[in-house]
Amino acid sequence: MAEQFSYDSLFSAASRETPPGSVRHSKYDFAVAYPDPDNLPLDDLIEAVRTGFEREGRDLAYYSSPSGDPELRQLVAEKLQRERNMKVTADDMVLTSGSGEAIGILIQALTDPGDVVLVEEFVYLGTLNQMRRYGADVVGVKCDDDGIIPEDLDKVITEQLGKGKKVKYLYTIPAFQNPLGWTMSLERRKQVLDITGKHGVAVFEDDCYADLRFEGEDVTSFHSLDDTGRVVYCGSFSKIIAPGMRMGYLVAPKPVIARAWSFKSGGAVSQFTALTIAEIMKGNLGQHIEIQNQALQVKRDAMVSALGENFGSNVSWSVPKGGLYIWVKFPEGTDLAAVQEQVFEEGVSYYNGSQFSPTGEGSNYIRLCFGHPSPDTIRKGVAELARILQKIGAFTG
């Protein structure tokens, strides 16, 4: 066999060994944030492809607008005006490959190594990883059931400024926070805007779960409460259609988009997907979201009652009014990070709290996602989780 060529001396200084990896599934999968394949709007998608391409299929011969399909941007702008009270037009946004790309390019545009960026004390792992990758000093702010605690936010910013640090922005997931599950109240949003404003700190609102409400009233977006251009915003079709669509968007003042765009590679997003989503938006998207949310509520209820049946009073959990996650607290000292792999091998997967924490604390918490499994699988899986934790002595109740 020919000797294999070695790239070892060719890698750039900035490159890091980060294999794409693969997602492993257990019998009872409460780790990944997938929707339920049974709830995908497959018929609508097939119909959308047909009508969209009968009308505009010939446009695939061209590279689309760099910002992404103008019609889809217009439809998204109208949805944001209607449902999130945002004063935006199609020109205030760019389409991205999922909101993950929006987050990645914005972080690159705003972060120099050593800059302080603020997050909720437990936060979406994907964002945390991107922030770390670009050298941010990620600092968590304490939260309660209403969202970020204003006094702690003020204290953290003041402390960091006192150390001579530059505090660039607060990244927040104010609706059905991942992993904590709460929605930040209007009062808190206003306070957070006041405090960050006082210190000249920008706000990055990740609103990808806003549509997944099955109880209670919507709270208006951060973006709608600011008229100075200080709030940038991203959203996604992953949670309301499917992650496999890979379609998201970034809304920001033009100079910010221009900087973020310099980190976008591969040109505009897929026009094939854009056309399909535009058709769905003109058709049954609202109805689909409603049906999906009803299914999510049944699953949440199944998980909440299964937790009640299988765990005693030493364990507590959130009861979110939407979204995909239940956040479970075990007594201090319980180490659910140490046994995560073993529990996975036994058939149940979760993420433990320390994975969402900038400081790596919180291994007595777990996040359980109720979006993918059926209610029956949820009931069996939670009982199984309790049985395994007992058996391996990780938690005896």
Ligand X SMILES: Cc1ncc(COP(=O)(O)O)c(C=O)c1O
Comparing CB distances to ligand X, the nearer of 238 and 355 is 238
Comparing CB distances to ligand X, the nearer of 123 and 378 is 123
With CA atoms as reference, report the closest residue to 129 among 259, 21, 7, 253: 21
Kindly indicate which of the ranges 10-18, 58-66, 95-103, 349-357 contains the residues binding ligand X, using the contact rule CB under 6 A: 95-103
CB 266 within 8 Å of CB 343: no
Helix (H) or strand (E) holding 51: helix 42-56
Please list, residue by residue across 289-324, b when 16 or more beta carbons sit within 10 angstroms of its beta carbon and e when fewer do: beebbebbbebbebbbebbeebbeeebebbebbbbb
Kindly indicate which of the ranges 58-66, 93-101, 310-318, 361-369 contains the residues binding ligand X, using the contact rule CB under 6 A: 93-101
Comparing CB distances to ligand X, the nearer of 117 and 339 is 117
Report, in Å, the least distance between residue 220 CB and ligand X.
19
Site for ligand X in 161-180 (CB under 6 A): 173, 178
In the chain, DSSP assigns E strands to 28-29, 93-96, 116-120, 137-141, 143-144, 147-148, 167-172, 202-206, 231-236, 248-251, 316-317, 325-329, 348-349, 351-352, 365-369
Report, in Å, the least distance between residue 99 CB and ligand X.
4
Residue located via tokens 């529990």: 343
Residue 201 interacts with ligand X (CB under 6 A): yes or no: no
Kindly indicate which of the ranges 11-19, 96-104, 280-288, 368-376 contains the residues binding ligand X, using the contact rule CB under 6 A: 96-104
Residue 147 interacts with ligand X (CB under 6 A): yes or no: no
Site for ligand X in 246-305 (CB under 6 A): 248
Please tell me the distance from the alpha carbon of residue 8 to that of residue 102, in angstroms, as a whole number.
31
Sketch the per residue contact string, 24 through 43, with ligand X: x for CB under 6 A, - otherwise: ---------x----------
- The DSSP string of 259-312 is HHHTT--SSSPPHHHHHHHHHHHHTTHHHHHHHHHHHHHHHHHHHHHHHHHHS-
Structure tokens of 105?
A: 């390019």
Sketch the per residue contact string, 208 through 247, with ligand X: x for CB under 6 A, - otherwise: x---------------------------x-x----x----
Structure tokens of 5?
A: 């060529």
Per DSSP, the three-state class of 213 is strand
Report, in Å, the least distance between residue 212 CB and ligand X.
11
Backbone angles phi, psi at 148, to 5 degrees: -65, 135
Report, in Å, the least distance between residue 92 CB and ligand X.
19
Report, in Å, the least distance between residue 137 CB and ligand X.
21
27, 47, 74, 126: which one binds ligand X (CB under 6 A):
126
Kindly indicate which of the ranges 61-69, 92-100, 347-355, 379-387 contains the residues binding ligand X, using the contact rule CB under 6 A: 92-100
Kindly indicate which of the ranges 50-58, 94-102, 147-155, 156-164 contains the residues binding ligand X, using the contact rule CB under 6 A: 94-102
Report, in Å, the least distance between residue 305 CB and ligand X.
25
Residue located via tokens 């709460």: 182
Report, in Å, the least distance between residue 247 CB and ligand X.
8
With the CA atoms of 205, 209, 214 and 215 taken in that order, what torsion angle do they form, in degrees rounded to the nearest 10?
Answer: -20
Q: Which residues bind ligand X (CB under 6 A)?
A: 33, 98-100, 124, 126, 173, 178, 206, 208, 236, 238, 243, 248
